[in-house]
Amino acid sequence: MARFRLVHTSDWHLGHTLHGFARGFEHSRFLGWLEDRLAELQADALVVTGDIYDKQNPPTAATSLLYRFVAGIKRRCPQLDVVLIGGNHDSAGRLEAPQPLLSAFGVHVVGSLPWRDDGQLDTDRVLVPLTDPHGDIAAWCAAVPFLRPGDLPAEAGDEHPAIAGTRSVYGRVAEAMDARREPRQAAVFTGHCTVRGAALSEMSERHILIGGQHALPVDAIAATADYVALGHLHRPQSVGGDRAICYAGSPIPLAVDERSYRHRIIVADFDDGRLSDTLSLDIPRCVEFLRVPDAGAAPLDDVLYALGRLCGDGNGNPDMRPFLEVAVTVTEPVPDLRQRVEAAVAGSAVRLTRIVPHHAGGDADLASILATTRELSALDPEEVFRMRHRQQYDTEPDDDILDAFRSLAAEAGG
């Protein structure tokens, strides 16, 4: 049997904007690069594991990026099978709407778990045959998208209902796959979920899980798979060091804490239905992501000095100007913080995404501190103002600020 080669990528988030800056240029560069790799690698299948779009209602620029990519690869790799699944960011209906057209190009889309009218899982829609260069079926892809709570059958037992329900869905799909899979055909499963033991990134993903209770044990999603293609986590990784269970990760950093990732695609080779090799290819980054300081926060003067020495350069291309996040330790009110930072970077070709103030006194909620110590009626407004200032900046308000507060308080009838 001929070798079979699958390329796995994920979490494109087409249509993403970073604090107002569109990412279309980076996505377009990535998709062009991917098209070249698919042709060069003579890939037989491409699997994209969810969050194709960043939003339920993606901008037209994002949908045209996807369609242009599909048209481009079908010209160069007419035999390529493409599987797209829906992620939690995707609208299943929007993703599946062009399915009748995309089918003609060998593109299979599963936006949401398909149920038949009789209440049974429509496994014909979920199971996608993938063919080798001779047109023979070399693998079956169980294209399981992001599972919403309504997709999960109630199962008896001690397991968390979300885990038991997921196990049940994958079990049904695996059963249907085993019924049609012949010897020496590989079993590939997809998922858009968090698997136990995987490393999350700080900003984009932490809020998805509360206490990790829905992180799934690996055996719940594909006990019989030769390769498990996962999406949802933006950090590329193999789960538990197993090269057969991989998050491909996102192709570009979607938040500042993802700037150190080495974004990649995964190339999985199969021989006689068994995974023989995996290889990852680093995706070139065309836009730098800077942070001042590199970690934590620094006093304003230090930050302004560092910003003055920045030499952002986009090769004259506005879409290639580096992104910049700034974090300032704030020890007193700085009403013109933004203007001062903007003035400091005015001479360099960077895109300022965000200024994060770190308050020297901590960011605790004053109300919760007061509530435990004082009666509300016993509080004097000026005293509360002083406490707030001390708490936020770790200093006493100076006379100018106190005068301003008193005249405001007088105006308010206090």
Site residues (CB under 5 A) for Mn ion?
Answer: 51, 87-88, 232
Least separation, in Å, of the C-beta of 13 and Mn ion?
8
Strands 298-299 and 137-142: unpaired
Least separation, in Å, of the C-beta of 4 and Mn ion?
27
Please say which residue, 194 or 280, places its beta carbon nearer to Mn ion: 194
User: From CA 50, how far away is CA 12, in angstroms rounded?
Assistant: 8
Please say which residue, 87 or 273, places its beta carbon nearer to Mn ion: 87
User: From CA 253, how far away is CA 207, in angstroms rounded?
Assistant: 17
Please say which residue, 88 or 391, places its beta carbon nearer to Mn ion: 88
Please say which residue, 234 or 291, places its beta carbon nearer to Mn ion: 234
Please say which residue, 131 or 190, places its beta carbon nearer to Mn ion: 190
Please say which residue, 87 or 251, places its beta carbon nearer to Mn ion: 87
Please say which residue, 88 or 276, places its beta carbon nearer to Mn ion: 88
CB 286 within 8 A of CB 25: yes
* 266: nearest Cα among 284, 282, 285: 282
Least separation, in Å, of the C-beta of 65 and Mn ion?
18
Least separation, in Å, of the C-beta of 156 and Mn ion?
30
Least separation, in Å, of the C-beta of 301 and Mn ion?
40
Strands 245-247 and 227-231: parallel
Least separation, in Å, of the C-beta of 62 and Mn ion?
16
> In this structure, is the dihedral angle defined by the CA atoms of residues 225, 86, 254 and 47, taken in order, positive or negative?
positive
Least separation, in Å, of the C-beta of 297 and Mn ion?
29
